[in-house]
Structure 1
Amino acid sequence: MSKIQVNKLHTLTGHNDCIYALAEGSDPRFFYTGAGDGMVVEWDLDLPKDGKLIAKLPHSVYALAIDSERNFLIIGHNFEGIHVIDLNENKEIWNLKITDQAIFDIKVFGGEILIGTGDGVLIVVDSVQRSVKKHIKLSSKSIRVMAIAAEKRQLALGLSDHSIKILDLANNFQPLTNLNGHTNSVFALNYSPDEKVLVSAGRDAHMKFWDSENYTLLENIVAHMYAINFLSFKDDGKYLVTCSMDKSIKVWDAKNYKLMKVIDKARNAGHGTSINKVLWSSYSGHVISISDDRTISIWQIEEENL
């Protein structure tokens, strides 16, 4: 039997509005946050109190992605497009005005930047040519979240039309299947590190585990009281964390679908409002969370064998 011990290590401040975006750097010692104030900040897990301003944009930032191969940070600038920052040079090297919609998620796959927008369009950008390759209209509702299974060469997208769509990255984004298990918007989506399982969650407060071989449903859990905003796996795949509008973070045994720990304000001096993203750091093993309360928390989560 294992027990999970939680210790809050740091509360980081500096943003002037709700924090929506969170991404781990190509050097995972660093992570990046974006907020309603248009600020994008770099944080160092070895020196967490010293945030460094990377960009200041006129509109809110909901999405960030790292191009690890080139060490670029891609910023989703709502109602505008993307800004690409060279993190070696600490400067913007190009940008592209591509949408008048919100940008909810960005993923990088090879030389392509994949952008999910508020009007249900997947925009594919060639990062070498710095131009739009294609628009793929998937729904009249927002694309809220994306996940890539790199080995399988598959892209999963969670939408506000309650569906999850699986596209084939090896075959020009051809549709593979459509998953219709949720009863509201899908906000959270992630493949397990071994890519055998896809986990989804969203506004219906349910978390679903899907076998990624044939996308059959393995388990359905009523996981939170309110909308689940995001989820993140520990890099060994044993545990995952979810965060919610109910102001809590939950630690789950990913193999046995079991709740291991609840982290909240009453028990752990957690966030006071909706928690928008969580990231299980592959550098420190700590969990990073961001919230509408304008703060970032860093949590030590340790397994205690009984």
Structure 2
Amino acid sequence: MQSFGVTLHKNTGVWNFMLQVTKIDTFSGHRDCVYALQPSAEDKYFYSAGGDGMIVKWDLTRPDWGDVVAQVPASVYALAFDTTQNQLWVGQNYEGIQVIDPLEKRVVASAQLTTAAIFDIVFFENQAFLALSDGVVIVMDRQAFAVRKHIKASQQSARCISINALTREIAIGYSDNYIRVFGIDELDLRHTWEAHSNSVFSVCFSPDGRYLLSGSRDAHLKIWDVANGYALHQDIVAHLFAINHLTYSPDQRLFASCSMDKSIKLWDATTFRLLKVIDRARHAGHGTSINKLLWTSFHNQLISASDDRRISVWDIKTN
């Protein structure tokens, strides 16, 4: 770790001039850790949820304003915005799913699908994929709000999901350290491998579909070559502690990682080089684990959510 810290410092020195990071705002109001972020139909709004069961709508132009659109009786790790219906799917831990109309602030549908924790919800075409703590991935018809299939490929938690629309594949990261890739249409298992030495917390296909990025409790960022049977392309000791989330910028030139080590790191999406470190010492960042990121198209602002109950907004400019 120490030798890699020196390398990071060198890379940061070389590449920092390319990026300018400014903390714009801090949104506070949650009474517990914030675990989930989702965009809205309008790019200046976004939604958050966390351990307090509150689902809050925020306005990026008004940091002093937050509107509670729903309150559920359990903590929320997974939140997904359905752009086709302008509805929020809320994964209530041990309570199932609620679908909420955030404008009317009412429950549209609900189902006690599971008594397990729900870690991720991802939409693709007319399907919804739910990753559960009991190792099951539930596949639903989202218009009919009906279960289509249960996929049980591990005895340990399914933690994260990413879709490759080009290859029509879905990658799922598990707490058994494995990544498993299924075909979207037949839901057939196509690839499985031990990707990390600890739980896989985030998987993210590159926008061009060439690579699958994964982040783990082992603090490694790994890049997998999709066309080459998911062969390892690069292995980077990216953080000091667990990597919780990975996301790409709207222009696809950068991606970001966030970690339990309280930092956000910005990376070149082509070379996978570290460009910038955002932390408390240099940028008045979060004081505890950063759980989720949302990179918006609203002035290229990056949003981060943390165990410190706060949501920070970062302006990212390239020189």
TM-score, normalised by the number of residues in structure 1: 0.96
- 1:175 alignment partner in structure 2: 189
- 1:202 alignment partner in structure 2: 216
Deviation at 1:88, TM superposition (A): 4.7
- 1:211 alignment partner in structure 2: 225
| Equivalent residue letter for 1:197 | Y
Q: Name the SS for the 2:66 alignment partner.
A: strand
Superposed CA offset, 1:170-190 (max 9, x none): 22x111101322110000111
Query: Partners in 2 of 1:129 and 1:232 — Cα distance?
Result: 30
- Paired residues of 1:54 and 1:90 also in contact (CA < 8 A): yes
- Paired residues of 1:193 and 1:235 also in contact (CA < 8 A): no
Query: Partners in 2 of 1:189 and 1:26 — Cα distance?
Result: 24
| Cα distance change on mapping 1:23 and 1:217 into 2, 3 Å | same
Q: Name the SS for the 1:235 alignment partner.
A: coil
- Show structure 2 runs of 5+ residues with no match: 1-14
Identity across the alignment (%): 46
Q: Name the SS for the 2:32 alignment partner.
A: coil
Superposed CA offset, 1:28-81 (max 9, x none): 322111110000111122333311111111110000011111111100000011
- 1:66 alignment partner in structure 2: 81
- Paired residues of 1:193 and 1:236 also in contact (CA < 8 A): no
- Paired residues of 1:162 and 1:180 also in contact (CA < 8 A): yes
Query: Partners in 2 of 1:57 and 1:79 — Cα distance?
Result: 11
Superposed CA offset, 1:217-244 (max 9, x none): 1111000000000011012221111100
After superposition, residues 102-117 of structure 1 pair within 5 angstroms as 102-117=117-132
Deviation at 1:283, TM superposition (A): 2.8
Q: Which segment is superposed worse, 32-41 or 126-135? A: 126-135
Q: Name the SS for the 2:282 alignment partner.
A: helix
Instruction: Choose which of 225, 247, 252 in structure 1 pairs with 2:262.
Output: 247
- Paired residues of 1:26 and 1:67 also in contact (CA < 8 A): no
- The answer to whether the aligner puts 1:260 opposite 2:288 as a matched pair is no
Aligned residues: 303
Q: Which segment is superposed worse, 293-302 or 206-215? A: 206-215
Query: Partners in 2 of 1:275 and 1:241 — Cα distance?
Result: 12
Instruction: Choose which of 280, 289, 294 in structure 1 pairs with 2:304.
Output: 289
- Show structure 1 runs of 5+ residues with no match: none
- 1:13 alignment partner in structure 2: 28
- 2:163 alignment partner in structure 1: 148
Query: Partners in 2 of 1:127 and 1:248 — Cα distance?
Result: 35
Query: Partners in 2 of 1:178 and 1:98 — Cα distance?
Result: 26
Deviation at 1:85, TM superposition (A): 1.2
- The answer to whether the aligner puts 1:41 opposite 2:56 as a matched pair is yes
Deviation at 1:23, TM superposition (A): 1.2
Query: Partners in 2 of 1:297 and 1:32 — Cα distance?
Result: 13
- The answer to whether the aligner puts 1:29 opposite 2:44 as a matched pair is yes
Q: Which segment is superposed worse, 45-54 or 70-79? A: 45-54
- 1:80 alignment partner in structure 2: 95
After superposition, residues 217-236 of structure 1 pair within 5 angstroms as 217-236=232-251
- 1:269 alignment partner in structure 2: 284
Instruction: Choose which of 139, 155, 158 in structure 1 pairs with 2:154.
Output: 139
Deviation at 1:25, TM superposition (A): 2.1
Superposed CA offset, 1:102-151 (max 9, x none): 10000112222211100000111222222222211121100111011123
Query: Partners in 2 of 1:129 and 1:231 — Cα distance?
Result: 31
- Paired residues of 2:26 and 2:63 also in contact (CA < 8 A): no
| Equivalent residue letter for 1:265 | R
TM-score, normalised by the number of residues in structure 2: 0.92
Query: Partners in 1 of 2:51 and 2:193 — Cα distance?
Result: 31
Q: Name the SS for the 1:266 alignment partner.
A: helix
Query: Partners in 2 of 1:190 and 1:46 — Cα distance?
Result: 29
